[in-house]
Amino acid sequence: MPYAITQTCCNDATCVKVCPVNCIHPTPDEPDFGTTDMLYIDPATCIDCGACADACPVDAIFPVERLTKQLRPYAEVNAAYYADQAPAQQDPTPNFHRWGPPVFHRDIPSDFAPLDVAVVGTGPAGMYAVEDLLLHTNSRVTLIDRLPVAGGLVRYGVAPDHPSTKKIGEAFSRFHTHPRLRLRLGVEVGKDVTADELATKHDAVIYAVGASSARSLGIPGEDLPGSVAATDVVAWYNGHPDAGAVDLSAERVVVVGSGNVALDVARILTADPKSLARTTISPAALAQLRSSKVREVVLLARRGPDAAAYTAPELLALTQQDDVDLVVDAHDPQIAEEIETAGAKAALLQGLPREAVDWSAPPQHGKRRIVLRFNSAPQEILGDTQVRALRVTGDVEIAAGRVIRAVGYRGTELPGLPFDAGTGTIPHEGGRVRPGTYVVGWIKRGPSGGIGANRTCAQETVGSLLEDAVAGRLAK
């Protein structure tokens, strides 16, 4: 039986490298790499060797015959990716995935002197850069993070009920004890050390500081008590040192946004606390969830179900839950039409109950539920001293005691470095801010792409660094 890649795929292509028959796509050198929700195994070509499952850092690959009830749909998800390929691209032989010629992107002299490189940030972007430097050069690396615990996005951004995704942190942490690496935690650039001081003490500095602040909705009432950024909620349930408590006294919560973070927040707020007790959730957050009054979470999306920002695997996982009702708000006839006729993402909502919700009434008591409301943009958060409702497209008021803003992350300015306030990124060319100073990850490209996207991002940045080093452009 072939293998299948499932929900927790991190897209970092470790599995691609070990596949002996090149049956996992898209590969890093293919145009759609980084744009698909996940990677896919061709069941017609897979030889059932299991090399990909052994290499996968997030335990996302299983034999089709061993898929659980919740994961069984992924056998078809993998097969469908190849069924959609144009026939002209396929070869009638069993292995129609041809290997391309080897490509060498770097040319490093044999007498290349060791570099002293500082990497600021211990999340995936920083760690992929560290991996590249330690495995492919003789560099000495100083790894710096302002927090007392390493991990970045993996530790404090991934939902606690996604333990397989968090396992990639184990692959990264093996470098923390590498003989050519020094780990410095609790050190903040701009406070404990300046960018100029780092530049003076190292041949090069790579900033992998992510995008930790929240984007604004830009609507009236956004600053009312009860209006909370999703970044704060994520930090709360992951036990981030800077996080405070989140008030769960409202029966209805509206989450504005349709990305994976919005789905994470909705899932955690409606989950049975008993199921979360076995995860890495913050003990303080778990205690609050046990006494939570939240009965209903509304996921508010500006556009239709096929244009929502969440990935198909995350939505599929949400539809597989047994302990929470999932309902589509039937306020717009176009939504039902799109679910029945549009693409694969919308089709995942087929079979879900559709309901014309009375938003002036409190949630019904019974099983907790998540309501998907599409084609609705937030217009104003209403209330005097506290959030009481959200006004959306069509002048509809959704009565709610909490509004969580999950409309994206943005980077923050770092003292001593240039910053583009419009994009929330540090300006660069191929990761090069200037010779000796580099960026990688979300502070480089904006908050887009999952964990695996940082591997190719880091390869580009490290390539620019090495190009400058070989050309003699680095100077302390």
pLDDT of 96 reads: 65
Q: Are residues 185 and 232 in the same domain?
A: no
Structure tokens at 103: 């490509």
62 and 142 assigned to the same domain: no
Does any domain span residue 182? yes
In the prediction, which pLDDT does 5 show? 97
Of 378, 405, 432, the residue at which a domain comes to its end is 405
Two tokens at 317?
A: 């996982």
Amino acid residing at 412: T
Instruction: Mark whether 344 and 383 lie in a shared domain.
Output: yes
d(CA 292, CA 306): 32
In a structure prediction context, what are the per-residue pLDDT tens digits for the chain, which is 476 residues long? 799 999 999 999 999 999 999 999 999 888 888 889 999 999 999 999 999 999 999 999 999 999 999 899 999 999 999 987 655 445 544 446 778 888 888 888 988 899 999 999 999 999 999 999 999 999 999 999 999 999 998 999 999 999 999 999 999 999 999 999 999 999 999 999 999 999 999 999 999 999 989 999 999 999 999 999 999 999 999 999 999 999 999 999 999 999 999 999 999 999 999 999 999 999 999 999 999 999 999 999 999 998 999 999 999 989 888 889 999 999 998 999 999 887 778 999 999 999 999 999 999 878 899 999 999 999 999 999 999 999 999 999 999 999 999 999 999 999 999 999 999 999 999 999 999 999 999 999 999 888 999 999 999 999 999 999 999 999 76
Residue 26 maps to a domain: yes
Residue 187 inside a domain? The answer is yes
231 lies in some domain: yes
Sorted by sequence, the CB contacts under 8 Å of residue 356 that are 6+ apart come out as 329, 330, 331
The reply to whether 94 falls in a domain is no
CATH number of residue 121's parent domain: 3.40.50.720
The span from the CA of 440 to the CA of 125, in Å, is 6
On whether both 354 and 443 belong to a single domain, the answer is no
Question: How far from chain centre, in Å, is Cα 134?
Answer: 25
CATH code assigned at 221: 3.50.50.60
Whether residue 109 lies inside any domain: the answer is no
Residue 98 is predicted with a pLDDT of 78
User: Considering 43, 70, 89, which residue would you say is the last residue of a domain?
Assistant: 89
Residue with tokens 């000796």: 436
- Is 110 domain-assigned? no
Considering the domain architecture, whether residues 236 and 372 belong to the same structural domain is answered as yes
Q: What is the pLDDT of residue 102?
A: 81
Tell whether 28 and 69 lie within a shared domain. yes
Q: For residue 141, what pLDDT is reported?
A: 98
Instruction: Choose the final residue of a domain: 389, 405, 421.
Output: 405
Residue 95 lies in a domain: no
Tens of pLDDT along 291-315?
A: 999 999 999 999 999 899 999 999 9
My answer on whether 145 and 234 are in the same domain is no
> Which residues, 6 or more positions from 206, have their beta carbon under 8 angstroms from its beta carbon?
117, 118, 119, 120, 126, 129, 438, 439, 440, 461, 462, 465
Closest Cα partner for 474 from 101, 114, 94? 114
What is the pTM for the complete model shown?
0.92
Helix (H) or strand (E) holding 132: helix 124-136
d(CA 279, CA 158): 12
Q: Are residues 201 and 235 in the same domain?
A: no
- Number of folded domains in the chain? 3
List the domain range (segments joined by +) for residue 81. Answer: 3-89
Q: Are 466 and 108 in contact (CB under 8 A)?
A: yes
Q: Are residues 369 and 231 in the same domain?
A: yes
Residues 231, 325 within the same domain: yes
Q: Give the whole-angstrom CA distance, residue 343 versus residue 152.
A: 34
Q: Dump the DSSP string for 288-325.
A: HHHT----EEEEE-SS-TTS-SS-HHHHHHHHT-SSSE
Q: Judge contact between 208 and 168, C-beta under 8 A.
A: no
Rounded Cα distance, 379 and 219, in Å? 6
Q: What's the rounded Cα separation, in Å, for the pair 135 and 175?
A: 10
What CATH number should be reported for the domain holding residue 36? 3.30.70.20
- Pair (230, 185) in one structural domain: no
Whether residue 243 is found in the same domain as residue 151:
no
Q: How many secondary structure helices (H) and strands (E) does the chain include? A: 17, 22
